[in-house]
């Protein structure tokens, strides 16, 4: 059973098919784990009725589209071609074995004297994600989608009255050298509007649970608009008493709630019927900008079937 170091010690190049051989499985798992730790390969995400969703297994030994994208991205960032005549190069394997997040893909989380307000806010979000052990994509060619519930654009108002556009749809990327960039900071809602919430529902209207998920693909919302469409399990609260709070609500996990990341088509002062539990942007133009940003992510450009990672976090826990 060859480890990565043993594979390197043998000399020569290798192939993906060889990494999938049982005798090379430890090396394959280590390659994936290292790419995940570098912030280049998405882990799996797990959760249950009892437990919030978050990062799970770092490696599965299957070198599919996501692994190939991560291999390509490490090659691009390190300047070492990874393929030669269909094989992963020996010097690529050596470089990966020596790479560390701190040196190769650093992440600046703490305030610096010259940080703008936008960068400081991005760092607060990332510090929170780091404290929750959420996975952070570190390549400048990848984007982190984050919804913050109950916070304004400046990050200093944590009131969360019902039916208001008082949540944020944010996209953060990490620039070369580790400084975060807040690419999108748009009005949104993570909560159903009052008219929808007030309608009779056998189980109660859905409200997404806080956590980090890998659960959306590019698709259509109600066959009417391009969106990120739910494609895997989410954890939700059912607001059967229609009081607008998650406390005491029954929790469900499923892949068929149709909780999409979509938008209004006209700007409104209140959420109204625009959300029945989806993650909804307030303005159509901003929605298009959001989609253009995340669709430029290398994980999507190399794999149109890519499943996007998104964190949903409470604004009142970002107050410091």
216 and 135, same structural domain?
A: yes
For 288-304, the pLDDT digits (tens) are 999 999 999 999 999 99
Tell whether 279 is covered by a domain: yes
Does 84 score more than 70 pLDDT?
A: no
127 and 95, same structural domain?
A: no
212 and 251, same structural domain?
A: yes
139 and 260, same structural domain?
A: yes
Q: Please tell me the predicted confidence (pLDDT) of residue 293.
A: 98
Q: Please tell me the predicted confidence (pLDDT) of residue 126.
A: 97
Does 101 score more than 90 pLDDT?
A: yes
297 and 175, same structural domain?
A: yes
273 and 235, same structural domain?
A: yes
Does 24 score more than 90 pLDDT?
A: no
Confidence of residue 197 (pLDDT cuts 50, 70, 90): low
Consecutive H or E run containing 127: helix 117-131
Confidence of residue 178 (pLDDT cuts 50, 70, 90): very high
Tell whether 112 is covered by a domain: no
Q: Please tell me the predicted confidence (pLDDT) of residue 20.
A: 80
For 112-153, the pLDDT digits (tens) are 999 999 999 999 999 999 999 999 999 999 999 999 999 999
127 and 60, same structural domain?
A: no
Region 34-44: mean pLDDT is: 98
256 and 200, same structural domain?
A: yes
Does 85 score more than 80 pLDDT?
A: no
131 and 15, same structural domain?
A: no
Does 77 score more than 80 pLDDT?
A: yes
Tell whether 242 is covered by a domain: yes
For residue 250, how many C-alpha atoms fall within 13 Å in the half-sphere facing its CB?
8
Does 198 score more than 80 pLDDT?
A: no
Confidence of residue 37 (pLDDT cuts 50, 70, 90): very high
| Calculated CA dihedral for residues 127, 133, 138, 143, nearest 10 degrees | -80
159 and 85, same structural domain?
A: no
Confidence of residue 54 (pLDDT cuts 50, 70, 90): very high
Tell whether 281 is covered by a domain: yes
Q: Give the residue among 265, 119, 281, 296 at the shortest CA–CA distance from 186.
A: 281
122 and 17, same structural domain?
A: no
In total, how many domains does the chain have?
A: 2
Tell whether 111 is covered by a domain: no
Q: Note the maximum CA span of the chain.
A: 67
Residue 45 lies in domain: 4-101
Q: Please tell me the predicted confidence (pLDDT) of residue 195.
A: 67
Boundary-marking domain end, from 101, 135, 153: 101
Q: Please tell me the predicted confidence (pLDDT) of residue 261.
A: 98
Cβ-Cβ contacts under 8 Å for 106 (sequence gap 6 or more)? 177, 178
241 and 122, same structural domain?
A: yes
Q: Please tell me the predicted confidence (pLDDT) of residue 158.
A: 77
Tell whether 125 is covered by a domain: yes
- Please answer whether residues 269 and 185 qualify as being in contact, where contact means their C-beta atoms are separated by less than 8 angstroms: no
Tell whether 108 is covered by a domain: no
Q: Positive or negative CA dihedral for 178, 183, 184, 185? A: positive
Q: Which residues pair with 230 in a beta bridge?
A: 216
Does 157 score more than 90 pLDDT?
A: no
Cα 11-89-306 angle, rounded to 5 deg: 135
Write down the mean pLDDT value for the chain: 93
Does 110 score more than 80 pLDDT?
A: yes
Tell whether 107 is covered by a domain: no
For 89-100, the pLDDT digits (tens) are 889 999 999 999
């Amino acid at each position: 059973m060859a480890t990565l170091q043993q594979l390197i010690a043998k000399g020569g190049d290798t192939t993906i098919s060889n990494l999938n051989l049982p005798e090379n499985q430890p090396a394959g798992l280590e390659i994936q784990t290292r790419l995940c730790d570098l912030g280049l390969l998405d882990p799996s995400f797990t959760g249950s009725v009892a437990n919030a969703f978050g990062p799970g297994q770092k490696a599965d030994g299957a070198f599919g589209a996501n692994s190939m994208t991560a291999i390509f991205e490490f090659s691009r960032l390190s300047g070492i071609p990874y393929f030669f005549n269909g094989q992963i190069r020996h010097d690529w394997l050596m470089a990966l074995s020596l790479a560390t997040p701190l040196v190769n893909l650093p992440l600046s989380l703490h305030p610096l004297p010259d940080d703008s307000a936008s960068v400081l806010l991005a760092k607060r979000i990332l510090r929170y994600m780091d404290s929750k052990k959420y996975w952070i994509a570190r390549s400048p060619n990848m984007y982190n989608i984050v919804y913050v519930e109950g916070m304004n654009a400046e990050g200093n108002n944590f009131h969360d009255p019902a039916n208001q556009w008082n949540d944020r749809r944010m996209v953060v990327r990490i620039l070369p050298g580790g400084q975060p960039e807040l690419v999108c900071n748009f009005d949104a809602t993570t909560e159903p509007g009052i008219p929808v919430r007030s309608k009779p529902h056998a189980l109660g209207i859905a409200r997404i649970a806080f956590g980090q998920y890998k659960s959306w693909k590019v698709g259509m919302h109600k066959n009417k608009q391009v969106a990120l469409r739910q494609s895997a399990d989410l954890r939700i609260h059912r607001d059967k008493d229609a009081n607008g709070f998650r406390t005491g609500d029954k929790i469900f996990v499923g892949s068929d709630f149709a909780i999409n990341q979509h938008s209004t088509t006209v700007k409104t002062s209140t959420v109204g019927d625009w959300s029945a539990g989806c993650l909804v942007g307030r303005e159509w133009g901003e929605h298009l900008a959001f989609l253009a940003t995340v669709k430029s992510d290398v994980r999507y450009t190399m794999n149109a079937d890519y499943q996007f990672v998104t964190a949903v976090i409470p604004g009142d826990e970002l107050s410091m």
